[in-house]
Amino acid sequence: MLDIVFKIERNKLWMLQVRSGKRTGASAVRIAVEMVGEKLIDVPEAIKRVDPEQLDQLLHPMVDPKATYTVLGKGLPASPGAVCGEIVFSADDAVEAKEAGREVILVRKETSPEDIRGMAAAVAILTQRGGMTSHAAVVARGMGKCCVSGCGEIRLDGQSMQLGGKTFAAGDLITVNGSTGEVIAGRVPTLPPQLDDNFRTLMEWANGVRRLRVRANCDTPEDSRVAREFGAEGIGLCRTEHMFFGEDRIAAVREMILSQTVDHRERALTKLLPFQREDFVGIFHAMDGLPVTIRLLDPPLHEFLPSEPAHVAALAGELGVSKEEMLRTVDSLHEFNPMLGHRGCRLGLTYPEIYLMQVEAIIRAATQAEREGVSTMAEIMIPLVGIDTELSRLRTLCLSRAESVLRDEGVDLEYTVGTMIEIPRAALVADRVAQFADFFSFGTNDLTQMTFGFSRDDSGSYLPEYVETGILDADPFQSLDQSGVGQLVEMAVQKGRAAKPGLKMGVCGEHGGDPRSVRFFHRTGLDYVSCSPYRVPIAILAAAHAALEDAGKVT
């Protein structure tokens, strides 16, 4: 389809300009498919003519292009879609509003794992701080919810928000456009998602030419079902910490954290094991016959404790300790830079009983699912490894508990134990790390953060200017920095496979859903990428583009 600029002068036709016509995602897909049907182009050319990013318009509601509206402010387009809702300022208010049948937008300075319930209840999330891989952004994409993060113009004051020269109270209506980062006054007309036969045909064609497999980052059975419907070929990242925040389990988590002895900690973990097992059973059912990579506990323990004084006092009362003692405990877990602190495999080595409980839950869930007729492929992933000895010791620990459970269950089950490559040192010594890994999964969010020295939660305040002024070509948290971070990925692939030929490798960072990054991962020889469920079709089409580039059919 073309835009043609022409002029007729004195009965003569002058062709002034011809260019590819602008079109919506739905139009691009329809035109490509219909032109194949009319034998005007072939299938590879049709795949080439649809930009993978255009598929976002088909998967989420979008602002009606004909609508007029007032933009109050702009943040980062952290998770696509456009929705309207009433403002709420706390997770509890979001849950209460949903139960009352109201659609709300959760507005926070920044979100934390404590806000998970509220984020699930809201139709969209808006934050003052945070980048493209902040907590709000990652969780929202996983849930398929609209999100604008890092809108620094917002000023929050208790139960009010100032933005665009106006003051908004709880209950006021705004529209959030996660595809552009715009925050809009009032209600704006939107268009619904458009998944039709043309979309499904294009996906079939893309699946027929790509080499790179596509998995999804999922934490719940529901996320897993959605991902599979979109074509995901397994789960590349299941974050177990998100399972800890349910009302029926957070008390046991906090009891475990505040335990002073191993025995007390193990008793608390025993309460958590059935919940984790149940979650994993549901995920295995949703992914019947497909691999599921489950990351053991990653964040620092303080994230599971309240930070506000009133909530700390309430928790002290629940656990029967003094407020002063509770404050001392919370303070003792505080870290100046938690991203570089006591988390990931470091927690597993300090408190091995935590990882042992999780491994037992995974293996018991897999054996239960197998008995129920489900084919499981459990991949246990140890996070934040930077030293081969860390992985060696934790691998031995995990295998010991897994084999013990299998003996107890009286079954024989295949499973693997691997690691995330998210610390630069792990990439540098990947040949040594590979000796103790069945697979590598690149956590490119943290790998980018640690390579650049950028905070992924705070960089939204200056990275846009870096891109606008040409210091960087793109936000490295949105599109992989191929010359720097990419070099570490290539090194780890080469060293890892030199030490262990055929070592399975994938990506579970958010770059797995970015088309430009997907093409790089294809060229680097990775086996799969993993991304948020609603980015799966985009990754599939991008992987097809990469394969066609290799075949010389796309310039």
CA angle (131, 291, 548) in 5-degree steps: 70
CA 420, CA 105: separation in Å to the nearest integer? 34
The alpha carbon of 507 is separated from its chain's Cα centroid by a whole number of angstroms, namely 11
Catalytic, out of 135, 511, 522, 545: 135
Ranges of beta strands (E only) in 121-172 are 124-127, 146-149, 155-156, 160-163, 166-169
CB 508 within 8 A of CB 443: yes
Catalytic, out of 84, 345, 398, 508: 508
CA 458, CA 280: separation in Å to the nearest integer? 33
- Rounded to 10°, the helix 536-550/197-209 angle is 50
Residue 87: strand, helix, or coil = strand
CA angle (551, 553, 555) in 5-degree steps: 110
- Residue 129 tokens read as 């701080």
List of residues 6+ apart from 414 with CB closer than 8 A: 377
- Residue 121 tokens read as 């209840």
Q: Catalytic site residue 508? A: yes
Please write down the HEC assignment for all residues of 523-549. HHCCCEEEECHHHHHHHHHHHHHHHHH
Q: Catalytic site residue 522? A: no
Other Cβ atoms closer than 10 A to 396: 11
CA 485, CA 491: separation in Å to the nearest integer? 10
Residue 175: strand, helix, or coil = strand
505 beta partners = 440
CA 31, CA 25: separation in Å to the nearest integer? 10
- Rounded to 10°, the helix 197-209/25-37 angle is 70
Residue 69: strand, helix, or coil = coil
The residue count for the chain: 555
The residues assigned a catalytic role are: 135, 508
